[in-house]
Amino acid sequence: MGACKNLPQITSAIPITNLGITTMLTLSDINNIETEEDIDELEYYQSIQRAINAGAWSFQGSYGRAMMEAINAGRCLLGNNSAKDYFGNRIPSRHDVKDGTKGSEGYVDECSGTDWLRAMEAV
């Protein structure tokens, strides 16, 4: 029993570091993104937004595709900070793109409305 006390603690969040910035993606977020079950649309996109904010671009391909689909559909913003994908390509931040273009606040507002934009900004 004594040998087990030095085992790492299991947490409900996974730290992700991209370009020197560490953010947390929760196990609930991972489940929301990967599940085949019906979940609330807002909850799903908030999980996607957290993955984008965390810079999870180097995760398995389905994450990158889900994040890009959400950005292209105007459901999610680009992250507050730029990131790098698995191949080292730079992903711009929402502040790097022209307002009204994909990933910007203006684009999400136009596609999904101001209330939705505020919900994504709050993530």
Checking if the pLDDT of 5 tops 80, the result is: no
What are the CB-based long-range contacts (under 8 Å, 24+) for 91-99?
A: 91/55, 91/57
- Helix/strand/coil for 44: helix
What local confidence, expressed as pLDDT, does residue 120 receive? 97
What local confidence, expressed as pLDDT, does residue 7 receive? 40
55 or 10, which is more confident:
55
Least confident of 12-16, 27-31, 108-112: 12-16
Checking if the pLDDT of 69 tops 60, the result is: yes
What local confidence, expressed as pLDDT, does residue 10 receive? 41
